[in-house]
Amino acid sequence: MSKLISTELLDDKARIVDAPSPAVEVDRTFELPRRLYGATVALYLGFLGIMAAGLSSEGLIIPMAIFVLFVIAGFGVPALWTRLNPQSKSRAMSWSKFKERGEMTYTGRLSARDAAIQMLILPVLIVFWGLAVVMIAATV
């Protein structure tokens, strides 16, 4: 049930507080070099290219275009998200700094090589899976 609450009652009970400070710094870069994200996008788009070339038909043009848009949006929107606050001092880690420091993960610190392998293993396996599917389809 709804009940009308008078403004006098609200004025008696209301607490007026100061607005929160907007000086909170938020790091939206995920602290990884842009090269790793670029390699991931290239591998996903490579998979779509392999599938489009190996299983080409007129009926797959629109779904493949949609998949490409999803991949670009999936990485493009977070890239734009990092630039929301132009005054922010957070930047993506440089490649040299990444090689020097590595990356901290849930299980501990990884070297740059190990972190890159961990990040790129799934996209590489997806590309190999696409190659296998196309080769199987070509021989059947």
- Residues 105-140 have pLDDT tens digits of 888 999 999 999 999 999 999 999 999 999 999 999
8 φ/ψ angles, rounded to the nearest 5 degrees: -65, -40
DSSP secondary structure code for residue 86 in this structure: T
pLDDT in tens, 20-78: 776 667 777 777 898 999 999 999 999 999 999 999 889 999 999 999 999 999 999 98
Structure tokens at 5: 């609450």
Span 5-27, pLDDT tens digits: 888 888 888 888 887 776 667 77
pLDDT value of position 28: 73
In a domain, 68, yes or no: yes
| Residue 57, domain extent | 29-79+111-140
Categorize the per-residue pLDDT at 79 as very low, low, confident or very high, splitting at 50, 70 and 90: confident
Closest Cα partner for 47 from 129, 137, 127, 135? 127
Confidence of residue 93 (pLDDT cuts 50, 70, 90): confident
Residue 88 within any structural domain of the chain: no
CB 126 within 8 A of CB 48: no
State whether residue 110 is helix, strand or coil.
strand
Task: Please list the residues that pair with 110 across neighbouring strands.
Answer: 103
Q: In the predicted model, is pLDDT for residue 101 greater than 80? A: yes
3-state secondary structure 17-65: CCCCCCCCCCCCCCCCCHHHHHHHHHHHHHHHHHHHHHCCCHHHHHHHH
Which amino acid makes up residue 43?
L
Q: Look at the chain and report how many structural domains it folds into.
A: 1
